[in-house]
Structure 1
């Protein structure tokens, strides 16, 4: 919702200010389709040249993040901590019994209690692979920690590609606006014998290209890129929490301590209260009994 409000504010303030200052929309509206065709078409073409089909689909999909916001909410962090607590507790009590859950998370009764997490392939794979590593009795937990860090870094870099792609488009739009403006000047020079009122409209139409390139770059595409990056980094905290809890488990800390480590590493606005989490963990223990 706040994204839609932001877009409306941009258009109202920019064009409202223009009209309030005595400007007339006639020249802009007349030139807009052609300038948009030149600038927008060139920007889309450049975007397609610079990215493969998977990256294009990824970027289009990520545009929804501007309006939807982060995927993981407060309750999801609490559910994740409960899930990890149950898995770690079972792994310490019965190392054999945990295998069915980490080898077949789609059919796991434990993962099944948290369908939103179960449907996220990256979260499930991160949990299962790390707990599988723990079952291999690594002599040095730092080995697993290093592997996790590299994996999460690679995943984050891949996730941020859409933001980088959008920012590249934003960086190029002002230059494409100049291209459209130059073409408008060329068109104007072909009508240099016309009276001043005609030349004025032609020059005004040419300048719409410069305006449109800068407006699209800094008013829309760059903020979209920034928002996508912010949301992706926000969702990255969810996977970072998994890392912190499972690394604590590798260092042989009790389940309650592992979960508290995770809770403390949860972003403040998503962090479950200690008492609320304790109540949730009591329910987990009761169900497992």
Structure 2
């Protein structure tokens, strides 16, 4: 929602201010298709040159996040803590029974109660792989924490690729606008024998290229890149919570302490309150009884 509002504000303020100052849209409208073809086409071409097929698909898919926002909501953080509580408690009570859940999470009754988390392959793999390692006596908390840290760094680097790719495009757009403006000046110089009113329109059309490059860079593409980076970092907290809880479990803390470690490490705006989480855990306990 805020993404759409932001775009409306940008266009309204820029062009509204131009019109309010007495500017005329005729020259811009006339030159815009050709300038947009040169600048936008060159930017798309440069993007295709700089990225492989997977990165291109990833970036295009991520563009929707600008308007949807982060994937994980406050409810998902509470559900994640409940899921980890169930798994850790079962691991302490009956390690053998845990195996069927972590080996086949799609068929697990525990994972099945949390469909949004189950649908995320990375979250499930992170949970199952770590619990599987613990069951194999690979339980040095510091070693596991280091492995998880490297894994999440790699995942975060991949998640940030869309932001980096768009930022590169944003950085290049002003220069591409200058290229379009120079071509417009070349066109104008070819008509140097024309009267001033015609030359004025040609020069104005050339300057549209500079305007469009800067406008797209700092008004559209750059903010998109920043928003995607913020969303990737926000969603990364979800996986960090998994790490914190499972590492606390390897330190043999009480189950409730492990869950509280995760709750305290969740960002404040998505962190479930102590009482809300306690109620949710009571429900989990009653259903498991």
TM-score (structure 2 length as normaliser): 0.99
Correspondences of 1:116-265 after superposition (within 5 Å): 116-138=116-138, 140-265=140-265
Structure 2, unpaired ranges of 5+: none
Q: Using the TM superposition, name which of 168-177 and 132-141 deviates more.
A: 132-141
Give deviations 1:133-169, integer Å, cap 9, x for gaps: 1111125221111100000000000010000000000
Quote the Cα distance in structure 2 between the aligned partners of 1:282 and 1:12.
51
Give deviations 1:259-282, integer Å, cap 9, x for gaps: 000000011011111111111111
Q: Using the TM superposition, name which of 139-148 and 218-227 deviates more.
A: 139-148
The question of whether the paired residues in 1 share the 8 Å contact of 2:177 and 2:210 is answered with yes
The question of whether the paired residues in 1 share the 8 Å contact of 2:173 and 2:214 is answered with yes
Q: From the superposition, tell whether residues 61 and 139 of structure 1 become closer, same or farther in structure 2 (CA, over 3 Å).
A: closer
The question of whether the paired residues in 1 share the 8 Å contact of 2:191 and 2:199 is answered with yes
Could you tell me which residue of structure 1 aligns to residue 36 of structure 2? 36
How large is the Cα RMSD of the aligned pairs? 0.6
Does residue 113 of the first structure (1) align with residue 113 of the second (2)? Answer: yes
Give deviations 1:63-109, integer Å, cap 9, x for gaps: 11110001111110000000000000000000000001111111110
Quote the Cα distance in structure 1 between the aligned partners of 2:129 and 2:57.
28
The question of whether the paired residues in 1 share the 8 Å contact of 2:170 and 2:217 is answered with yes
Give deviations 1:150-205, integer Å, cap 9, x for gaps: 00000000010000000000000000000000000000000000000000000000
Quote the Cα distance in structure 2 between the aligned partners of 1:274 and 1:132.
29
Quote the Cα distance in structure 2 between the aligned partners of 1:276 and 1:220.
40
The question of whether the paired residues in 1 share the 8 Å contact of 2:167 and 2:221 is answered with yes
Give deviations 1:200-222, integer Å, cap 9, x for gaps: 00000000000000000000000
Quote the Cα distance in structure 1 between the aligned partners of 2:138 and 2:234.
31
Correspondences of 1:43-62 after superposition (within 5 Å): 43-62=43-62
TM-score (structure 1 length as normaliser): 0.99
SS of structure 2 residue aligned to 1:22: coil
Could you tell me which residue of structure 2 aligns to residue 25 of structure 1? 25
The question of whether the paired residues in 1 share the 8 Å contact of 2:141 and 2:250 is answered with yes
Quote the Cα distance in structure 2 between the aligned partners of 1:198 and 1:9.
33
